[in-house]
Amino acid sequence: MSLRIRLLLLSLLTLVLPWAGCRYARQMEDTLREGQEEALLTTARSIARVVSTETELLYRDPSFSTQFDSKAGDLFATEFMSPPLLDGFADEWPQPARALPEGAFGPDVPRLGLYRQALYAFLSVSRPHVVYENPVNEPTVNTDRVVVLTRDTEDKEQAWCISAVAPGPIIARRCSVGSPWRAISEPELDIAGIWRATSRGFDVELRLPLRLLGTHLAMFAIDPQGMSTHAIASGRLHMASEALRSKLDVYAPDGLRISVVDTHGWLLAQAGKVFRSSSDPAPLGSEPDSFYRIALGRTEEPSLAYGLPYGMWGRPVDAARAGKEDTAWFEPANGEPSTVRAAVPIMSEGKPVGALMVEQAGDRLLLRRDAALTQLLNFTLMATLIAVVGTLAFAAWLLRRIRRLSRAAATALTPEGRIEIRMPDTDARHELGDLARSFAALLARLKEYTDYLQTLGAKLSHELRTPLTIVSSSLENLSHEQLPAETRIYVERARTGSARLHALLTAMSEATRVEQSIEQAERTDFDLAALVRAAGFSYQQSFPQHRIELALDDQPCSFHGAPELIAQMLDKLMDNAVDFCPPGKRIELKLEREPKHFDLSITNEGPALAPGLENTLFGSLVSGRKASTERPHLGLGLYIVRLIADFHGGQASARNLPDGEGVVFSIRLPRQSS
């Protein structure tokens, strides 16, 4: 794994900060939620105890609380916030938010509602042919009409006959109880409504004063054609309690909504509203679907369709109607914010007679928490981003210096064998600077040692030449004396060894002389191709035991340099090729013209170079020859070749032939040598 990746992973540890912030915020939110739930439950318990002391506010008849049965035809009239428009259409009548209990609401069941001491009713009648009232005939005889029958707690019954002379305003008259339901009074002006003809019959929309109604209500239509009746509704009339709503208004401050339902879920009273205070902050991310809320893992229940305005069914009301306390949090819906709802049972004589629910905006406290959380997470995420970017920038800076130092160390030893001691960042006052200075000191000591080895030949030649001359002259004088034959053999051997030592000293000092001659050499313009061609012809005559081939450019090759040094370089390369090329094998001398340089090469067949020798072959005192007794080899020939190539700004290299049956020595010389 690269250093950059490791530093990046290390910088990602700063993500612990936002994670810890989320954990803390989650714990804080749980604590706030529990506190708000408990506060709402306490409020609900207190109000429920007050309501339980006045159960007469809940029901018009105490028996209603245990005997409500929608299947038996019991009816419920909820309290409306605004009165429906008496126009014969049901468009403005509020629809339930969910399916109501079976039989409680449908096309054949009248819709009932309360508003300011008046009962509103909307009913539909199917009739293939409608007969309207004829003012000439006796009213309500042989006409389509609707009868409204009520009965109070004392079983006293009253009936009203609803008819019309045409689609439009209705005519309401008190009528006798029982067939034929004949009108017995003048029109009742307190009862108003509209009769509207429809494709399936007719619709009637009524407003009746509550003072005319009892505890039971029945509605049925009379068909004059068959003289039959069609019951539209018949049962006990349950309705919301205006007195209870007035009582709840006292306990419903701003932002709090209190609802009371009976044991069957019908809404008896509701007071207050749920809203978010305008003074509460609304920071970015405060809504339930925000990024931070998702990061907290906080999920809320979808807002349930309670069935309002007619009743309330679902959590937590169902638990309270069953006698248990419960709380729940819900998502925003119908223009309201996220809400928390607490419901408790209303107890009377040890039994639940209803349920009371308190609702409050769930984010009133959490909004302030979200504001702090947003700042915390923004700060920590920004800190993490800065840390990651800073770490990556530092990693890039560090890697650039390490790579530069690595390149300098890799190229400290040039292919020509020179040592470059210049290292980058040696002035830096940090660990990389210490490392660069250590490398520079090591290379300086290595260069000193290499320079010592390179000058060792000249030093030895200077120190040994005088004593060797004395030995050689002494042996020469001794050879002129009268010596026994056996002694003369040893003298000749000593003279031969002395001659070889002289040759060695000469070879060792040759490099020094070449360096000096190079420094003093003068550059001139000459034809490089002519010089190589003349040298090639000379080599063909000097080494007839080898097949020396020339591959030269026919065109002149103008070159600026020292021709005598180029000739000396060719001699060293040819001597090396002859030494390693077996008799009869091929040696090729080649000169190629390139756009920016000349390629001069000598290829000889024979043994290949040992692995790794290509990079050190042109160094001082380096030789690839095996031990030989013919003449000494100190490894200075190719070193001199490299010195001459460097003088001309060129480059010397060696490589094996692809088939491994020979070696190529190449010299690349620039066209404009400096």
How far apart are the C-alpha atoms of 300 and 289, rounded to whole Å? 10
Read off the DSSP letter of residue 70. G
Residue 442 pLDDT: 87
Burial 637-647 (b: 16+ CB within 10 A, else e): bbbbbbbbbbb
pLDDT score of 614 more than 70: no
When mean pLDDT is compared over 186-190, 494-498, 636-640, the highest value belongs to 186-190
Q: How confident is the model at residue 625 (pLDDT cuts 50, 70, 90)?
A: low
CATH architecture of 64-238: Sandwich (2.60)
pLDDT tens digits for 65-78?
A: 556 666 677 788 88
Question: Which structure tokens are listed for 569?
Answer: 């370089």
pLDDT tens digits for 374-388?
A: 777 778 778 778 877
Residue 42 pLDDT: 94
Q: Where are the alpha helices (DSSP H) in 211-353?
A: 242-249, 291-296, 317-321
**CATH code for the structural domain at 25-55+244-281+303-366:** 3.30.450.20
Q: How confident is the model at residue 122 (pLDDT cuts 50, 70, 90)?
A: very high
pLDDT tens digits for 41-96?
A: 999 999 999 998 887 788 766 666 556 666 677 788 888 888 889 999 988 888 77
Q: Which of 60-69, 160-169, 309-318 has the lowest mean pLDDT?
A: 60-69
Q: Is omega for the bond preceding 544 within 30 degrees of 0, making it cis?
A: no
**CATH code for the structural domain at 521-670:** 3.30.565.10
Read off the DSSP letter of residue 304. P
pLDDT score of 672 more than 90: no
- Spell out the domain ranges in the chain: 25-55+244-281+303-366, 64-238, 521-670
Look at the pTM and tell me if it is higher than 0.85.
no
Residue 192 pLDDT: 94
Segment 564-581 shows an average pLDDT of 89
What are residue 121's DSSP bridge partners? 112, 206
pLDDT score of 628 more than 50: no
Segment 494-515 shows an average pLDDT of 71
Q: Which residues contact 256 (CB under 8 A, 6 or more apart)?
A: 43, 272, 274, 358, 359, 360
Residue 142 pLDDT: 79
**Hey, what amino acid is at 632?**
P
Tell me how far CA of residue 534 lies from CA of 103, 570, 575, 627, 652, in angstroms. Answer: 124, 11, 16, 33, 22
Residue 295 pLDDT: 57
